[in-house]
Amino acid sequence: MKIRKLAAIDIGSNAIRLLINYIYEQPDKDPVFNKTSLVRMPIRLGHDVFTESEISQENIDRMIDAMKSYALMMKVYGIEDYKACATSAMREAKNGKKILRTIEKKTGICVEIIDGKTEAEMLFSAGLNQFLQQDKAFLYVDVGGGSSELTYLKNNKVITSRSFEVGTVRLLEHREKKNVFPEMQQWIQDTIKEESIELIGAGGNINHVYKYSGVKLGTPMSVLYTNRHHKNLLKLTPEERMQTYNMKPDRADVVVYALEIYNKVAKWSHAKRIHVPKIGLSDGIIRSLYKEIN
- CB atoms under 10 Å from CB of 10, counted, come to 25
Q: What is the average pLDDT across 69-89?
A: 97
Mean pLDDT, residues 16-22 taken together? 97
pLDDT in tens, 145-187: 999 999 998 887 888 989 999 999 999 999 998 899 999 999 9
Averaged over 2-20, what is the pLDDT? 96
The secondary structure of residue 150, as a DSSP letter, is: E
The verdict on 244 and 140 lying in the same domain is yes
134 and 269 share one domain: yes
The span from the CA of 258 to the CA of 254, in Å, is 7
Contact 20, 36 (CB under 8 A): yes
Q: Which residues contact 218 (CB under 8 A, 6 or more apart)?
A: none
Query: How far apart are the C-alpha atoms of 217 and 200, rounded to whole Å?
Result: 14
Q: How many domains does the chain have?
A: 2
Q: How confident is the model at residue 110 (pLDDT cuts 50, 70, 90)?
A: very high
Q: Do 209 and 241 have their domain in common?
A: yes
For 187-225, write each residue's pLDDT tens digit: 999 999 887 899 999 889 999 999 999 999 889 999 999
Task: Supply the pLDDT for residue 135.
Answer: 76
Residue 89 CB burial class (10 angstroms; 0-12, 13-18, ≥19): buried
Q: How distant, in Å, are the alpha carbons of 77, 118, 177 from that of 150?
A: 34, 12, 17
Q: Could you tell me if residue 155 is inside a domain?
A: yes
123 in a structural domain = no
Q: Does the pLDDT at position 255 exceed 70?
A: yes
Let me know if residue 188 belongs to a domain. Answer: yes
Q: Does any domain span residue 164?
A: yes
- 58 with 164, same domain: the answer is no
pLDDT of amino acid 279? 82
Residue 162 domain flag: yes
Least confident of 25-29, 105-109, 155-159, 197-201: 155-159
pLDDT value at position 127? 67
Q: Mean pLDDT, to the nearest integer, of 94-115?
A: 96
* Residue 189 maps to a domain: yes
Residue 210 forms part of a structural domain: yes
DSSP calls for 25-46: E-TTS--EEEEEEEEEE---HH
Q: Of how many residues is the chain composed?
A: 294
What pTM, to 2 d.p., does this model score? 0.88
The pLDDT of residue 254 is above 80 = yes
Query: Is 238 found in the same domain as 139?
Result: yes
Which pLDDT score, from 0 to 100, does residue 134 have?
67
Same domain, 149 and 242: yes
| CA distance from start to end of the chain | 16
- Is residue 203 within 8 A of residue 211, CB to CB? The reply is no
Summarize pLDDT for 112-142 with one digit per residue, the tens: 999 888 887 887 777 676 667 667 899 999 9
What CATH number corresponds to the domain at position 81? 3.30.420.40
pLDDT at 78: 98
Does residue 91 sit in the same domain as residue 171? no
Q: Average pLDDT of the chain?
A: 93
What letter does residue 272 receive in the DSSP assignment? -
Strand partners, 154: 137, 157
pLDDT given at position 9? 98
122 part of a folded domain: no
98 and 175 housed in the same domain: no
Residues 11 and 135 in one domain: no
Q: Say whether both 159 and 218 belong to one domain.
A: yes
Structural domain that includes position 180: 130-275
The DSSP code sequence of 163-220 is EES--HHHHHTT-S-TTHHHHHHHHHHHH---S--EEEEESHHHHHHHHTS-PPTTSP
Q: Are residues 93 and 139 in the same domain?
A: no
- Whichever domain contains 144, its CATH number is 3.30.420.150
Query: In terms of domains, do 44 and 134 share one?
Result: no
